[in-house]
Structure 1
Amino acid sequence: MTHSGTALPVTLDRESPVPLAVQLADALRESAASGHLRGGDRLPSTRALAERLGVSRTVTSAAYEQLHAEGWIAGRHGSGTYVTTSPPSDRPVHRTVPGEQHEPDGVLDLTPGTPWAAGLDRAAWRRAWRAAADAPPLSRAHRAGLPDYRAAIAEHLLRHRGLAVGTDFVLATGGTTAAVVELAGAVFEAGDAVAVEEPGYQRAVQALRSAGLTVVGVPVDEEGLRPDAIPPGVRAVYCSPAHQYPMGSRMSAGRRVDLVERARRENLLIIEDDYDGELRFDVAPLPLLAALAPDVVAHLGTTSKILTPTLGAGWMVAPPAVTSAVLAYRDRTGTRPSPAGQRVLIELARHGDLGRHLRKLRRELSERRMLLVSALRAGGVPVLGDEAGAHLVVPLDSPAAERERLRAAERRNILLDGLSRHFAGTPTASGVTIGYAGCSREALRDALDVLVELLR
């Protein structure tokens, strides 16, 4: 059964003592109450509906007459029968996805990982979407990503990350976590061990575990992940060398060399999550691991932190064997990144808006970080993390102190994040992370005194 081309969930039970006309009227009311039918939707004619349901026209006519009498459908001369309104329902209708979180009004969210989406040039944003919509609909899927998108990412990596790579070596992804899911399913076998930073990015950890892989934590310090602490027998190492998440350190040049040598010696795959890689404020970034060792590094990036999660677009640059395995995985599973966000990124890059936004983003976040760090240090609050990225860490001496600060901040309508949840195993460090990109600069400035008071 259709209405405006959409199937209606109408089932009639011929064994039920309830008359078929009453069942049909009830089913249509339920469709309206659940939002499946809406005001203005055109219903099939009584004759067409009777044929589709395999009942007599008397049944459909009686159901329509009842709904006409109740006043929520009406006939239009020469046009058909239409829904005029949706009846009230005696059952709750759930409109939100279970688990979807919505922060109440008046709460300042200073958790890390939120981009400065408000800083996007809205005129450029609209122009990119309009231009993206002008492209004809695809008749076949591009499992590696749209060629123009891959070319735009290759140009981006060269200009902003110093990685010279041909378009053919770039794969589009749905983002960093989506890429980890694909690597886990394509490259490894259940039971394989993967070393991860401890503390580290727990979505990646869960993606690896969900694929049946064993996760082994490796400690990090002020120089990033410790290659000497990677246990023997692992198949891969997942790390964020540009700006370690969440501690904010940068992997030193010496450790990068050590890690690459270890990977080549033991045939390991390094999964390089370029978290905040474009957001360096103090000095030029160190060379990417993918630039040092393209033969053993799968480099991952995303537009979610530098632009917005709206695009759902990321990229992977990996050794040919890894790329082939990922493409084969996409063929087997029928999965591939959505081209819609890729098209928008193409237009942002084509008109120079991507580069302009990144320059503006670096300036803005550098100034915000300076504002926040100056206030905290003036109040006697210690700060960890390099001059980079969109968050910093305030260390604390115990898990209890961390929990107390988070609760106290929540009572003041401020959301902060604790270090404890970023450990795959038993937490060995305590502290609070403060993200400063998702809010306005004015809101951040207004909260400085409260933050110092809470964290002193």
Structure 2
Amino acid sequence: MPQSATALPVTLDREAATPLAVQLADALRDAAATGHLRGGDRLPSTRALAARLGVSRTVTSAAYEQLHAEGWITGRHGSGTYVTTSPPSDRPVQRVVPGEVAEPEELLDLTPGTPWAAGIDRAAWRRAWRAAADAPPLTSAHRAGLPEYRAAIAEHLLRHRGLAVGTDSVLATGGTTAAVFELAGAVFRAGDTVAVEEPGYQRAVEALLSAGLKVVGVPVDGEGLRTDAIPAGVRGVYCSPAHQYPMGSRLNAARRVELVERARAENMLIIEDDYDGELRFDVAPLPLLAALAPDVVVHLGTTSKILTPTLGAGWMVAPGAVTSAVLGHRDRTGTRPSPAGQRVLVELARHGDLGRHLRKLRRELSERRVLLVSALREAGITVLGDDAGAHLVVPFPSPEVERERLAAGRVRGIRLDGLARHFAGMPTAFGVAIGYAGCSREALSGALDTLVGLLR
């Protein structure tokens, strides 16, 4: 039977500054942690609890939403809401939601964003670091980045992304998010509005917001960013046209032309985040926006997805006025990207190790994707996203289903990423994004049956 509100250790102080929903979530969380509530206990519905506590349903719904997100409770369709944890004790009591297992301490992380760092040739890695250490210590800052690094990136862009640029057109960065933050401070003014993909990369959104800019979400579909939905008056558009994050679509040719034409006509700056553009498995990617319209496009790339975040190295190719503004911003603030990772990348490129790793990476991730997509589709599970990158999307019909599957995944030993958190505004699409690069192939294969059972 559901717990009654009077049986729950809940005391709400309506005079306190802390919101009632926060007080209620804290009380229920404490009850689960101390053992008053145990794994498998069924909680009242949000409506029943609101009536018994004398508060609005908004309060109880918000508290349950928070506890769902933290993994303390889970919903079962047609059955109710249950506590998922057991209290600490000398002899743990394994009481869980009926039909579920206790959440293990070690979870298989299938969230997107983790690269296949285990595939890096360790001998080449050590050789690159030793060679980088042989260079003498710097006595002055290179605000634009090390010249040899900029040259290596120019060659990389030509070989792997079809973008022909001179060394002087490349700026080193600390990665794509760091570059967005620099652009927000150097090129835009506080109060300017930038359009962003919805759903999209929230770290870039936060970088824009932290600089005092406004953001407006623009929906995406199976053909990428809805360019017709970009409102008038925006100063910039942030997008990932080669492999939209997180939905995995590619901006089609017609929309690319429309986006560029609008940027030129309305004085907008396009920020092209090419975070994993090297990882295409089916066909050659469409030309970069920076190749189509170098006058209105800032191209951003990173080593974090193709190698490792250890290097902390990325790049920017931008129109001259933007490059000058960024360098001026670095001069004023005394900031610059770290040269250590740049030196290592130079050595990996110099000996051909970067190219060899990319070829191996594409083969490995392509085979992992086939393995995962085949298992899901054979089970009748819908899969979204182009044949590219290191993640795919399984859509769900509602936020409740998304929360339930995320929580069920944790108790089954798998960490997944929900789509709802990738919205700057109100979520309109739900599901999970599954990353397949960070774990070993053996671990991925071993989890397929559990994953299919979870998502079916």
Per-residue CA deviation, residues 331-384 of structure 1 (Å, 9 max, x unaligned), is 011100000000000000000000000000000000000000000011111100
Q: Residues of 2 paired with 1:215 and 1:443: CA distance?
A: 39
Match of 2:291 in 1: 291
Match of 2:330 in 1: 330
Q: Residues of 2 paired with 1:121 and 1:446: CA distance?
A: 25
Shift of 1:107: 1.3
The alignment partner of 1:325 has SS state of: helix
Match of 2:248 in 1: 248
The alignment partner of 1:299 has SS state of: strand
Aligned pairs for 1:176-325 (under 5 A) are 176-325=176-325
What RMSD in Å do the two structures reach over aligned CA positions? 0.9
Aligned pairs for 1:277-426 (under 5 A) are 277-426=277-426
Shift of 1:310: 0.1
Q: Residues of 1 paired with 2:218 and 2:104: CA distance?
A: 37
Do the aligned residues in 1 keep the contact of 2:104 with 2:411 (CA within 8 Å)?
A: no
1:124 aligns with 2:124: yes
Structure 2 segments unaligned to the other structure (5+ residues): 1-102
Do the aligned residues in 2 keep the contact of 1:303 with 1:314 (CA within 8 Å)?
A: yes
Output the amino acid matched with 2:183. Answer: L
Match of 1:442 in 2: 442
Do the aligned residues in 2 keep the contact of 1:383 with 1:393 (CA within 8 Å)?
A: yes
Give the paired residue count: 354
Shift of 1:104: 8.0
Q: Which ranges of 4 or more aligned residues in structure 1 deviate by more than 3 Å?
A: none
Q: Residues of 1 paired with 2:229 and 2:320: CA distance?
A: 28
Do the aligned residues in 1 keep the contact of 2:191 with 2:214 (CA within 8 Å)?
A: yes
Q: Residues of 2 paired with 1:289 and 1:104: CA distance?
A: 45
- Larger gyration radius, structure 1 or structure 2: 1
Aligned pairs for 1:36-55 (under 5 A) are none
Q: Residues of 2 paired with 1:407 and 1:112: CA distance?
A: 17
Output the amino acid matched with 2:423. Answer: F
Output the amino acid matched with 1:132. Answer: A
Do the aligned residues in 2 keep the contact of 1:180 with 1:208 (CA within 8 Å)?
A: yes
The alignment partner of 1:241 has SS state of: coil
Shift of 1:275: 2.2
Q: TM-score, normalised by structure 1?
A: 0.77
Output the amino acid matched with 2:202. Answer: Q
Q: Residues of 1 paired with 2:381 and 2:294: CA distance?
A: 41
Shift of 1:188: 0.5
1:135 aligns with 2:117: no
Per-residue CA deviation, residues 284-316 of structure 1 (Å, 9 max, x unaligned), is 010000000000000000000000000000000
Q: Residues of 2 paired with 1:233 and 1:104: CA distance?
A: 50
The alignment partner of 1:283 has SS state of: coil
Per-residue CA deviation, residues 130-189 of structure 1 (Å, 9 max, x unaligned), is 000000000000000000000000000000000000000000000000000000000011
Do the aligned residues in 1 keep the contact of 2:104 with 2:412 (CA within 8 Å)?
A: no
Do the aligned residues in 2 keep the contact of 1:383 with 1:395 (CA within 8 Å)?
A: yes
Per-residue CA deviation, residues 77-96 of structure 1 (Å, 9 max, x unaligned), is xxxxxxxxxxxxxxxxxxxx
Do the aligned residues in 2 keep the contact of 1:245 with 1:275 (CA within 8 Å)?
A: no
Do the aligned residues in 1 keep the contact of 2:174 with 2:338 (CA within 8 Å)?
A: yes
Q: TM-score, normalised by structure 2?
A: 0.77
Per-residue CA deviation, residues 372-398 of structure 1 (Å, 9 max, x unaligned), is 000001111110000000000000000
Aligned pairs for 1:40-189 (under 5 A) are 106-189=106-189
Output the amino acid matched with 1:141. Answer: A
Q: Residues of 1 paired with 2:243 and 2:200: CA distance?
A: 11
Q: Residues of 1 paired with 2:122 and 2:105: CA distance?
A: 24
Output the amino acid matched with 2:418. Answer: G
Do the aligned residues in 1 keep the contact of 2:399 with 2:430 (CA within 8 Å)?
A: yes
Output the amino acid matched with 1:277. Answer: G
Q: Does the C-alpha gap of structure 1 residues 151 and 397 become closer, same or farther in structure 2, counting only changes over 3 Å?
A: same
Shift of 1:226: 1.0
Output the amino acid matched with 2:332. Answer: R
Q: Residues of 2 paired with 1:319 and 1:104: CA distance?
A: 51
Q: Residues of 2 paired with 1:161 and 1:198: CA distance?
A: 25
Output the amino acid matched with 2:252. Answer: S
Output the amino acid matched with 2:165. Answer: V
Shift of 1:106: 2.8
Q: Residues of 1 paired with 2:105 and 2:395: CA distance?
A: 29
Q: Residues of 2 paired with 1:105 and 1:454: CA distance?
A: 19
Q: Percent identity?
A: 85
The alignment partner of 1:115 has SS state of: coil
Per-residue CA deviation, residues 250-292 of structure 1 (Å, 9 max, x unaligned), is 0001111110011011111000000220000000010000000
Q: Residues of 1 paired with 2:106 and 2:430: CA distance?
A: 27
Q: Residues of 2 paired with 1:431 and 1:252: CA distance?
A: 23
Shift of 1:105: 5.6
Q: Residues of 1 paired with 2:133 and 2:158: CA distance?
A: 27
Match of 2:82 in 1: none
The alignment partner of 1:280 has SS state of: coil
